[in-house]
């Protein structure tokens, strides 16, 4: 790989990491907001419990992905 290709590859990778990080942060904000709304509703029926579990699982997954991206960015 030529030096120009390496530089191009690094900048593309960095750009993808930045875009992925921004997207994950946005999704995390939305999920945290939804969880907050569920908590504020004061409801505890099966539908709310299922939604809370689903949103919590998605939130945990997004945070894990964000952590992986941060490690990837550090390694470059």
Torsion angles phi and psi, residue 14, rounded to 5: -65, -40
- Cα separation of 7 and 12, whole Å? 9
pLDDT of 11 reads 65
By three-state DSSP, how is residue 57 classified? helix
pLDDT of 6 reads 52
pLDDT tens readout for residues 15-53: 889 999 999 999 999 999 999 999 999 998 999 999 999
- pTM of the prediction? 0.80
> In which residue are the tokens 């960095």 written?
14
Q: How confident is the model at residue 13 (pLDDT cuts 50, 70, 90)?
A: confident
């Amino acid at each position: 790989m030529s030096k120009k290709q390496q530089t191009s590859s690094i900048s593309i990778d960095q750009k993808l990491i930045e875009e992925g990080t921004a997207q994950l942060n946005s999704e995390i904000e939305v999920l945290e907001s939804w969880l907050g709304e569920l908590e504020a509703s004061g409801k505890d029926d099966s539908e709310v419990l299922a939604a809370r579990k689903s949103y919590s699982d998605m939130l945990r997954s997004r945070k894990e992905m964000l952590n992986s991206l941060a490690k990837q960015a550090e390694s470059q």
